[in-house]
Each structure stands twice: as C-alpha cells, then as structure tokens.
Amino acid sequence: MNRFTLRRILVAPSGFKESLYAEEVAEAITTGIRRVLPDAEVDAIPVPDGGEGTARTLATATNGHLIPVSVTGPVGKTITSHYAVLGGDASKTAVVEMAAAAGLSLVPRDSRNPCVTTTYGVGQLIAAAIDGGATRVIVGCGDSGTCDGGAGALQALGARILDAAGADLPPGGLNLQRAASLDLSGLHPGLAGVEIVLACNAKNVLCGDKGVARVFARQKGASDEEIELLSDALENWANVLERDGRPVDDIRTGLGTGASGGLGAGLAAGVGAKLVSRFDVFLDSGLYSIDLDAQIAKADLVITAEGSIDFQTPNGKVPAEVARRAVRVGVPVIALAGSIGQGAAAVHDVGIDAITSIMDVPMPLADAVAHSQRLLIEATEQMMRMILVGLAISERRSGEDT
C-alpha cells in the first residue's frame, strides 16, 4: 500500500453505544477521510451486531420500515419502542432489537440494577411482530440492561413463572432465586407457526465463572454481592428451564445461552428459539443486502470502530469480526474507539493492525458522548494524516532504493 494505491477505503463500524448509531459512526468517519482524501472512494457499511440501531440498519438496507410499539421498559415504565419489518423478499421477517425494549440506555444511570430490570418489553415486541403477520422473528441481542434470564419476555408471551407457593414471580433476575416451576400452557398461540431466531454472541453463556452475571452484570450496575446473587438465581432458573422447558443442549454453558442477560436461554427453552451467531444471521444469511466480504476484498484499507475497545473486543465484537474477514484477503485494518480499555492489545492477535482513541483530551464520559460525532470526525482526519506521512516515507525510501 502506498500513497498512489490508497484509492478505496472501506468503513465498517459498529455503533457507539448510548451515543451514535452505526450509520452515524460510518458517516462521521467518512467525513474525516474526505477532509484528507477528497478523491478517495469510500464504501460505508454499518455493521449490525444485534444491539442498538440494528432494526433501523436492517430496515434501511432492505427498504423495510419500523413499526412503533408501546411496551414496558426495563424499569417497568411504558416506553415507545419499535421492531422492523424487512423489505423485498423478506417482508414476512421482523427484526426485534432487544435493546429497544430492555437496553441499558433505557435505564436511568441512577437506577441501574440488573437485579430488578426486566425483558418484558422484548416479549411484547415479539408478540406485536407475530400479530403483525411475521412468520420469522429475528431477535437481535446486545446492549441489554437486564439479567433476568429472559423470564420477563416469556411472561409477556403468556408463560407463567411460579414460586413454591404457586404465585407468579414479579419482574427481575434476583427473583429467579424463588422460581420453582414454569408453565408454558398459556403461550401466545401465534408462536406455533413462527420461527424465532436469536442473533447473539455465541460466546456468552448463562452460568458458571464465565456466566452472564459474572461477566456483564457489573457494567449494568450490580455490586459484587449482587453479582453472586444473580449468578445463583440463574443457576436455579437453569434448573427450572431444564425440567419444565423445551429441550436445549447444555442450558448452562451452551453457546448463546447467556445472550442479553440470559434471554437466549429463556427463549430457547421457553419458545424453542434458535440461538445463532449474530454475524451468521446478519452478514452470511443473505438477510443484509450488502456483501461485506466482497467489499473488504476490494479495499486498500478497512476502518472499523466501536465505543470501547478492550479485552472483550476479540470475543465476537464487530471490529474483531471485520478484522477476521479482512485477514483472509490481506487487507489492513485500523480500529477507532471511544475509549481504549484494559487488554485492548489482544485485538492485534485477531487481525486489527492499529487502534486509536477518538479522545483528544481527558474528559468526562458525558462530554465524550455529547461530542462523539465531532471527536470521531477529527480523530479520523488526524489518523488519515498520519497514514499519509507513513506512505510518504515509504514512497521516498522506495524511490531511493531504485
């Protein structure tokens, strides 16, 4: 790669959680590139990951549309949410973005406690999609503010979760400590003719040392003590699902069972949902109308991005997936991040050649979120100028060698 062959750049980012949708990230990066290389050909492909903005991204890509729905949010208050109806040949496919009904961004910062938040609204979205005529419902998992094992979603779909005295359990993951039985006799009748697919990070599991409570509950607001209580509650919930639910291979540590605070396990055992790697669903099934692999192969450089790059990034996050595909065809990859955290260097092992933060000076998180678009544009511009310096040095040395 030299100054005269850097003609085509692929921008393939995730969204910046609680800040910018993937489309907005792609647009900002493209703006930064064009400040330096106005004549470069830039292909912008927002990469859906199941989290915030996924329904919107897929509706836009397929000429579909969003359907607004009032649901119960994660803290029990009514909110306006949505699901997507895809366009074209996929018009009977709906995409439910769980973050739009139970996402962390919907939980006020002073109320974040995964012991009490609920996925009830996710079940309401699934029911609304079925009532709207969908024969296939894809549930995008990611950015959840919950850890209730999908119990709330099942209750919204007509299941009853009972304690030892036969009383219905109230919302919240901590109450799963008292779950004694699961009654599926009253499930929404439309579920019988609908395929439910959970597009999830397959590496997330329900129980154990790497279970969803111990890995993710802290970032959702849980204390050390609450994390252990939630972990125990999910172990008990797994017992109930094994006994009273539909058969699932390894409900505790099976791939994807811990998706979105255990939503994967709950919907798999409760309604027979299929747990599938999110990138298999969104990028390799024909659902997304853009061929990411073909676009990578045509590029001289790939720029990806996410809100935080750290030790979790290699475990199924968008930048790692983009890099994995780019490595196969030898295209270099740079990743931009809102912040760079502990263990970020591990991303080099999965094919990301360089990482850089968009932060120009230390600042509070709230300020970074408020100014993320400007910071992203300016960071991209400076990154591209640095790349051109490197290319100029390479070009000069190449000329001296000849």
Of the candidates 52, 143, 139, 150, the one whose C-alpha atom is nearest the C-alpha of residue 93 is 139
Residue 4: pLDDT band with limits 50, 70, 90: very low
What's residue 5's pLDDT?
59
Please write the tens of the pLDDT for every residue from 64-81: 999 999 999 999 999 999
Residue with the bigger pLDDT between 116 and 361: it is: 116
**Spatial distance between the Cα atoms of 338 and 112, rounded to a whole number of angstroms:** 22
The answer on pLDDT for 166 being more than 80 is yes
Q: Structure pTM?
A: 0.90
Q: What is the pLDDT averaged over residues 168-174?
A: 97
Of the candidates 251, 293, 242, the one whose C-alpha atom is nearest the C-alpha of residue 275 is 251
Q: What is the pLDDT averaged over residues 240-261?
A: 96
Q: Which residues pair with 402 in a beta bridge?
A: none
- Can you tell me whether residue 9 is helix, strand or coil? strand
Q: What is the pLDDT averaged over residues 378-399?
A: 87
- Can you tell me whether residue 114 is helix, strand or coil? coil
**Spatial distance between the Cα atoms of 278 and 141, rounded to a whole number of angstroms:** 8
Q: Which domains does the chain have, with CATH numbers?
A: 8-45+291-401 (3.40.50.10350), 54-281 (3.90.1510.10)
- Can you tell me whether residue 49 is helix, strand or coil? coil
Return the number of other C-beta atoms located less than 10 Å from residue 16's C-beta. Answer: 29
Return the number of other C-beta atoms located less than 10 Å from residue 94's C-beta. Answer: 27
Q: What is the pLDDT averaged over residues 87-100?
A: 94
Residue 18: pLDDT band with limits 50, 70, 90: confident
- Quote the tokens at residue 139: 């549930």
Contact criterion met (CB below 8 Å) for 147 and 173 = yes
